[in-house]
């Protein structure tokens, strides 16, 4: 991993340096303005009435008592939506406000605007809705394969992706099978959904909101409001984390509806429980796998059936299904593959984008299978993986050739060869025990285990999607010094994009003073801050815009501009991808692949079922460490989310109802749960990418979960085919 002065420009804050975040100091001081801090004179407060049932028919809605309450300015239902009462990322199948049916607990039914947030909430409770409760469909596999009633006109299958390669009847000497299950994980961002809608004099509306994709929000809001695009303007508010949970709409249309109806600014902020109801989650999954190998442990075939629970509406389920299918064999060479992946509609909470996006679910299953196969072949788990590891030139099950570095074997060797943490001391130290200072164990029954895993993730959007970003770079002399201004619509959600864009401009133009303008829809689309794509795509766009400025500058240096202003806007695309063949899943569907490997060391109290992750070491290829410190932060953060899925994080549902919509009952890792991490960062340049970079944010989430569970298996001897692992899974039969 490199760090230091850029050799082309002499900039100490260019590409490859540990440049400081421009928003870092104000965030540490608590001075950063998040979207929940937005304020406007004479503003109203919005609130949402949500369904108490996961599946019910709406027989009638009476808003009279609520509308008559003092301080209430508006109570709106589906009848007040002036445009199309539908929205959705890929399929507009979700009502802005429910009409005749509610399909999940928490579905919005009505919205209220009042002069105080408590007034709005009390008015919301005065709305009378008559429901006829219906039997919910809650099992995704049965929704697809059984006789469950259709929840949407087209049935219960959101998408089915088959993958076929080689001989479908292939046989092998060693065969292992398993059924694996993944619980519903939440993005658990700390900043709740929030925003402010301000009606404009031109009859339009200005929306300030925490989101991941300004232009796709705009497209959906415009359709619901029945307004032209130039009348709905979006500006990014301060975002307190995202991880996929802000790709779908939350308050956007509701706040705009209320603002236009009342003629006043309207602010909406979800509380924590409402946030759990108000955004999508990671898809729960059931995965049936069968691996066949020869006596030496080399894969002969992989067969799998994967069922992803998409919940009540489609969201990004079609793309998640494609990822789980195309990456379902993992970073291994398998000559024969028969794999089917389905995304299902159910009456569970809607599920969509979350860090890892389909690859997380598949990785838990295929890595568990690789451990099982290693045991059946009498091989060390790392050795079995090394014998099957893909490399540059490997053909994926889709037929796509991996045409850049795929250092799977090197990553595995690096984590295997790291020093092992010291054993527990003979003298009791509760801080180092499972359960910690709660004094639940004194070392009796504590067993140490070690586990390994490696994962693969596609980078950027796939399947022929027109994936691009727009960037504008302006160069001028201010106060005798050259200065550059960058404008994009790419959302900074905490990942550090604003830092990297500054570094790129410093490298390309040799200008130290770089300002990133607020992100809004006054410039062209930059796509979503997801799929580990923004440094690649928006970074590529900013680089190209800088190169256009440099060309216009000619032989002059930036200091010699004088009164001239150079301004260039570029729309930049990566190399194209292809749609998957609907029968075989064949196609060059992905732009780039990212890889990470983990070794986990855990101590398990086998009598109480308590777990302490002692070490979670990682090796990852990032192509180019644009900002080495930020890269390490991404790897640590992604690994923490993988740890959460492994041992604690799950939205628990019963009959379609969420049982734990709070941070009291939905547990996420804290600094005390995260162990030290020894991280190796490889920089094996991708020749197709700007600076050779490779997306960083998602791969560590993928391999950390199965590595931790493998270590728990090693300590306990339990099969552990479900995550998160709970105490009863360890101490039960």
Q: What is the pLDDT of residues 146-176, one digit of tens each?
A: 899 999 999 999 999 999 999 999 999 999 9
User: Would you state the pLDDT for residue 11?
Assistant: 67
CB distance 74 to 49 below 8 Å: no
Q: Which residue(s) pair with 307 in the sheet?
A: 286, 342
Tokens of 437: 């200072």
Q: Is the dihedral of CA 491, 496, 502, 508 positive or negative?
A: negative
> Phi, psi (5° rounding) for residue 552?
-70, -30
Q: Which residue(s) pair with 616 in the sheet?
A: 600
pLDDT in tens, 355-372: 999 999 999 999 999 999
510-520: average pLDDT = 97
pLDDT in tens, 319-333: 999 999 999 999 999
User: Would you state the pLDDT for residue 46?
Assistant: 98
Considering only CA atoms, give the Rg of the chain: 26
Q: Which residue(s) pair with 599 in the sheet?
A: 452, 617
Which residues, in sequence order, are CB contacts of 121 under 8 Å at separation 6+? 47
User: Would you state the pLDDT for residue 405?
Assistant: 98
For residue 1, pLDDT beyond 70 = no
Q: How confident is the model at residue 733 (pLDDT cuts 50, 70, 90)?
A: low
**Secondary element (H or E) of residue 572:** strand 566-573
User: Would you state the pLDDT for residue 7?
Assistant: 42
574-593: average pLDDT = 98
CA distance 626 to 262: 47
Percent of the chain residues topping a pLDDT of 70: 98
User: Would you state the pLDDT for residue 426?
Assistant: 83
User: Would you state the pLDDT for residue 651?
Assistant: 98
Which residues, in sequence order, are CB contacts of 6 under 8 Å at separation 6+? 12, 14, 15, 16, 17, 506, 507
326-349: average pLDDT = 98
CB distance 216 to 269 below 8 Å: no
Secondary structure (DSSP) of 39-106: --TT-EEEEEEE-SSSSEEEEEEE-HHHHTSTTEEEEE-GGG--S-S-B-SSS--B-SS-SSEE-STT
User: Would you state the pLDDT for residue 442?
Assistant: 84
Q: Is the dihedral of CA 400, 401, 407, 408 positive or negative?
A: positive
Eight-state DSSP code of residue 2: -
pLDDT in tens, 207-230: 999 999 999 999 999 999 999 999
Nearest CA among 722, 410, 430, 467 for reference residue 603: 430
Tokens of 251: 């308050």
CA distance 213 to 528: 4
Nearest CA among 310, 322, 295, 223 for reference residue 586: 322
289-317: average pLDDT = 98
For residue 536, pLDDT beyond 90 = yes
For residue 6, pLDDT beyond 70 = no
User: Would you state the pLDDT for residue 424?
Assistant: 86
By the 10 Å C-beta count (0-12 exposed, 13-18 middle, 19+ buried), 4 is classed as: exposed
State the pairing for strand pair 194-199/299-309: unpaired
341-351: average pLDDT = 98
pLDDT in tens, 407-442: 999 999 999 999 999 988 888 888 889 998 888 888
């Amino acid at each position: 991993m490199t760090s230091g002065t850029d050799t082309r420009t002499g900039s100490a804050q260019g590409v490859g340096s540990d440049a400081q975040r421009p928003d870092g100091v104000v965030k540490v001081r608590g001075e950063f303005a998040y979207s929940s801090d937005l304020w406007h004179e004479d503003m109203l407060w919005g609130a949402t009435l949500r369904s108490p049932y996961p599946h019910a028919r709406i027989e009638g809605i009476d808003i009279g008592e609520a509308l008559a309450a003092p301080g209430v300015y508006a109570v709106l239902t589906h009848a007040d939506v002036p445009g199309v009462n539908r929205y959705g990322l890929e399929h507009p199948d979700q009502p802005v406000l429910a009409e005749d049916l509610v399909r999940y607990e928490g579905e919005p039914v009505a919205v209220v605007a009042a002069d105080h947030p408590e007034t709005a909430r009390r008015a919301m409770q005065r709305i009378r809705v008559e429901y006829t409760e219906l039997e919910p469909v809650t099992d995704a596999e049965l929704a697809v394969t059984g006789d469950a009633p259709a929840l949407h006109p087209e049935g219960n299958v959101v998408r089915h992706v088959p993958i076929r390669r080689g001989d479908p009847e292939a046989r092998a000497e060693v065969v292992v099978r398993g059924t694996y299950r993944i619980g519903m994980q939440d993005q658990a961002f700390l900043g709740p959904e929030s925003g402010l809608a301000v009606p404009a004099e031109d009859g339009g509306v200005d929306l300030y909101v925490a989101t991941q994709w300004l232009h796709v929000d705009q497209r959906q809001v415009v359709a619901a409001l029945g307004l032209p695009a130039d009348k709905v303007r979006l500006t990014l508010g301060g975002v307190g984390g995202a991880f996929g949970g802000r790709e779908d709409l939350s308050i956007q249309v509701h706040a705009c509806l209320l603002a236009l109806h009342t003629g006043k600014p309207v602010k909406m902020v979800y509380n924590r429980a409402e946030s759990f109801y108000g955004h999508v989650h990671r898809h729960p999954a059931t995965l049936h796998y069968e691996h066949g190998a020869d006596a030496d442990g080399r894969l002969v075939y992989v067969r799998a059936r994967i069922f992803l629970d998409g919940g009540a509406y489609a969201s990004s389920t079609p793309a998640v299904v494609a990822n789980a299918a195309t990456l379902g064999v993992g970073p291994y060479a398998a000559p024969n593959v028969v794999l089917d992946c389905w995304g299902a509609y159910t009456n569970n909470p809607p599920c969509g984008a979350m860090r890892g996006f389909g690859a997380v679910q598949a990785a838990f299953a295929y890595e568990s299978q690789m451990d099982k196969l290693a045991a059946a072949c009498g091989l060390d788990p790392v050795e079995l993986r090394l014998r099957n590891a893909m490399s540059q030139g490997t053909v994926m099950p889709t037929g796509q050739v991996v045409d850049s570095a795929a250092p799977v074997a090197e990553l595995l060797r690096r984590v295997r060869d790291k020093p092992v943490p010291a054993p527990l001391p003979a003298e009791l130290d509760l801080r180092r025990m499972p359960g910690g200072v709660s004094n639940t164990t004194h070392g009796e029954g504590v067993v140490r285990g070690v586990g390994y895993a490696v994962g693969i993730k596609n980078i950027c959007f796939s399947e022929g999607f027109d994936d691009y970003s727009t960037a504008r770079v302006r160069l001028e002399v201010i106060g005798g010094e050259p200065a550059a201004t960058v404008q994009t619509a790419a959302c900074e959600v905490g990942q550090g994009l604003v830092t990297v864009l500054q570094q790129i401009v410093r490298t390309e133009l040799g200008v130290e003073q770089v300002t990133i303008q607020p992100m809004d829809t006054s410039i062209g689309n930059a796509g979503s801050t997801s799929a580990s794509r923004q440094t690649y795509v928006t970074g590529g766009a900013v680089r190209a815009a800088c190169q256009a400025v440099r060309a216009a500058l000619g032989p002059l240096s930036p200091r010699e501009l004088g009164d001239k202003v150079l301004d260039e806007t570029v729309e930049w695309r990566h190399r194209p991808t292809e749609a998957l063949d609907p029968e075989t899943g064949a196609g060059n569907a992905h732009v780039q692949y990212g890889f990470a490997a983990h070794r986990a060391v855990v101590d398990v109290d086998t009598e109480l079922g308590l777990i302490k992750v002692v070490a979670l070491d990682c090796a990852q290829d990032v192509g180019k460490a644009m900002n080495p410190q930020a890269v390490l932060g991404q790897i640590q953060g992604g690994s923490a989310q993988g740890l959460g899925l492994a041992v604690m994080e799950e939205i628990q549902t019963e009959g379609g109802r969420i049982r734990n919509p709070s941070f009291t009952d939905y547990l996420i890792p804290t600094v005390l749960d995260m162990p030290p991490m020894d991280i190796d960062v490889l920089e094996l340049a991708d020749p197709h990418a700007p600076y050779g970079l490779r997306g960083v944010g998602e791969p560590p989430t993928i391999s950390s979960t199965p590595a931790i569970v493998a270590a728990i298996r090693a300590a306990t001897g339990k099969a552990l085919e479900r995550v998160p692992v709970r105490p009863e899974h360890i101490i039960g039969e």
